[in-house]
Structure 1
Amino acid sequence: MAKVAPFRVQPRPPLCRDRVMLKFCGRNTSIHATMEGGGDDGFSIERYMASKAATVNEELNRSLPLQHPECLHESMRYSLLAGGKRVRPVLAIAACELVGGDEAAAAPLACAVEMVHAMSLIHDDLPCMDDDDLRRGRPTNHVAFGVSTALLAGDALLALSFEHLARGCAEHGVPADRALRAVAELANAVGTGGLVAGQVVDMASEGVDVSLGTLEYIHMHKTARLLEAAAVCGAIVGGGGQGEIEGMRRYARLVGLLFQVVDDVLDVTRTSEQLGKTAGKDLATGKATYPKLMGIDGARAYAADLLVGAEAELQRFDPTRTEPLRHLARFIAYRQH
């Protein structure tokens, strides 16, 4: 795998003024002890996610028909329609609904975000990056279709994401200023303000002792930034005010980092068969992880604090509309794969 020369990163300041991002706030709570099994208010996040995922999956299938050149479109469909939890699209729709928008208006955005995510997985798995052979329980895209086709499929998915977002917003009557703002937000989440920057620093940090600040930089960009963009764009498309949009940004940053902390813990506590991807790969390649820097118990306690912070951000919204996002944060916290 190609190596990038290490360099010093100036990390972002912690997201919360009380430094919840880098401290445990004096609590010894375990994320498993904080809440066993979720809420008791009758809301089912599983049903909600299944419903939204079904909407997204139908639109994704329609948006990418099998056509010439077939090898390219087969490769794109292979990764895009491979299933998964669809957390990012669900987050986009839930954020849109939170500020008074509807699912139909958010669906093109939800699909665009998932196209970006699929692209990132294809590229992340390439031999020049993480060189993984397994993704979602199947051979990775480059193993199934070859490196060149996989690379181009990722590029094509990225282009399609912005086309689909722009056309979909126009078709559903989303005002042009909102659509343009959503496009700019999503684009920033892909490039030097997000995925690409995080990947570069991640590669540079392999086999190097890094600080919590550098680790936060990596995962705020590589993982959390796209979840943040999904929520922010959802609020934008739904017509949210600036305060609502920024509230969604803070919530999603915490949820995005929570997603990565849990992912790091699962990487060292679950098997490849349970995860559907190669377990223990970060440890084998010398990458920094939260369990490596904090220990497993410390990482779990950190995840508990991130969950508390995310739920606190929802308190500024109408409580009758926050259930999906509150339960989505808990779903991410307690997931087992």
Structure 2
Amino acid sequence: MNDFEKEMKHMSQIIDNELINYLPQKDTLPLKLYNAMTYSVLSGGKRLRPILVMKSAEFFGLSYEKVIPTACGIEMIHSYSLIHDDLPAMDNDDLRRGKPTCHKKFGEAIALLAGDALLTHAFCAIASNYGIDGILPEAVIDIVREISIAAGGCGMVGGQTADIDTVGKDIDIDTLFYISTHKTGALISVATWAGARLAGASPRDLSLFKDLGDKIGLVFQIVDDILDVKGDESILGKPIGSDLRNHKNTFVSILGLEESLRLVNKLSNEAKDLISDYPNNEFFMNLIEFIANRDH
């Protein structure tokens, strides 16, 4: 394990340890709901989005510990989206990270409600960034607004809707880019932006970090599409080929495998170029490489 992998593991463990502190207390909600929420949120994963919040804040001089509430909130939103994505009405998946999906363990109704609860409670966690030394109150208001846009109909939910609406239909590459930048990319992009905003980054840097998040999000989605074709199920923790079975449009189905790989390389280089002039860019350079070459 190299230094970057050790740092990713360390940051992921921080999120794993902190999430329970920002979830509702066990005695404040029905036990089955609590169990379904914690089962899904605490089941592991790359923790990419919260790490992006923390490392973006650190990049602009703010201790990552100070943005953990927002990092945990964004991870709750991501977890809710996975619960709903796995449902029979959506992707109909039985496994997530090698374990039964939430609806397989708790039933569809509880899974729906667990997702709803995580989405709404996420903003309670994000609002907890108010009053922390070194963070302006207006920055917290800004990130509540931008995260709600990224998670809702103008972002992730809009992309998911377009994805469902185009199943089994021929679409052009522009439509596929819309789906990918919204369904997957919006929450990744707002994570990099939110960390920078909480740290008081300049308007120019905020714009750059949003662009960086956009490109990272696209690379992430294209690699996801590639792994669904040629990934290792034992490493992925879920069956491959689900996109083909569900007649979904992907970068591989539209562009082909080789062109998809070339696009990953092109976007990765563009992402690196965005931060090439910054002196403290090593983590993000390594992160771009990691996402482009990941096997899970």
Q: TM-score of the superposition, structure 2-length normalised?
A: 0.96
> Secondary structure of the equivalent of 1:188?
helix
> Secondary structure of the equivalent of 1:101?
coil
The reply to whether residue 62 of structure 1 matches residue 21 of structure 2 is yes
- Does the 8 Å CA contact 2:159/2:182 hold for their aligned counterparts? yes
Q: Distance in 2 between matches of 1:139 and 1:129?
A: 16
AA matched with 2:103: H
Q: Distance in 2 between matches of 1:228 and 1:245?
A: 11
- Does the 8 Å CA contact 1:105/1:169 hold for their aligned counterparts? no
Q: Distance in 2 between matches of 1:82 and 1:180?
A: 30
AA matched with 1:80: V
* 1:310/1:154 CA distance change after superposition, 3 Å: same
> Secondary structure of the equivalent of 1:169?
coil
Where in structure 1 are there 5+ consecutive unaligned residues?
A: 1-36, 38-42
| Segment drifting more, 77-86 vs 266-275 | 266-275
The reply to whether residue 104 of structure 1 matches residue 58 of structure 2 is no
Shift of 1:174: 2.1
| Segment drifting more, 217-226 vs 289-298 | 289-298
Q: Distance in 1 between matches of 2:76 and 2:229?
A: 28
> Secondary structure of the equivalent of 1:245?
helix
From 173, 189, 210, the equivalent of 1:249 is 210
The reply to whether residue 281 of structure 1 matches residue 222 of structure 2 is no
Indicate the RMSD between aligned Cα atoms, in angstroms: 1.4
1:75 corresponds in structure 2 to: 36
Q: Distance in 2 between matches of 1:259 and 1:169?
A: 31
AA matched with 1:53: S
Q: Distance in 1 between matches of 2:101 and 2:90?
A: 13
AA matched with 1:66: K
- Does the 8 Å CA contact 2:219/2:292 hold for their aligned counterparts? yes
Q: Distance in 2 between matches of 1:157 and 1:284?
A: 29
The 5 A counterparts of 1:152-191 are 152-172=113-133, 174-191=135-152
More relative contact order in 1 or in 2 (CA 8 Å, sep 6+)? Answer: 1
2:286 corresponds in structure 1 to: 327
The reply to whether residue 47 of structure 1 matches residue 11 of structure 2 is no
| Segment drifting more, 200-209 vs 289-298 | 289-298
AA matched with 1:245: L
Q: Distance in 1 between matches of 2:268 and 2:130?
A: 32
Cα deviation digits, residues 240-259 of structure 1 (max 9, x gap) = 11111111001110010000
Shift of 1:171: 4.1
- Does the 8 Å CA contact 1:264/1:289 hold for their aligned counterparts? yes
AA matched with 2:62: G
Q: Distance in 2 between matches of 1:304 and 1:163?
A: 38
From 92, 100, 109, the equivalent of 1:148 is 109
Q: Distance in 2 between matches of 1:170 and 1:163?
A: 14
Q: Distance in 2 between matches of 1:96 and 1:203?
A: 35
From 101, 107, 128, the equivalent of 2:89 is 128
Q: Distance in 1 between matches of 2:154 and 2:61?
A: 28
1:30 corresponds in structure 2 to: none
Count, aligned residues: 294
1:269 corresponds in structure 2 to: 230
Shift of 1:66: 3.0
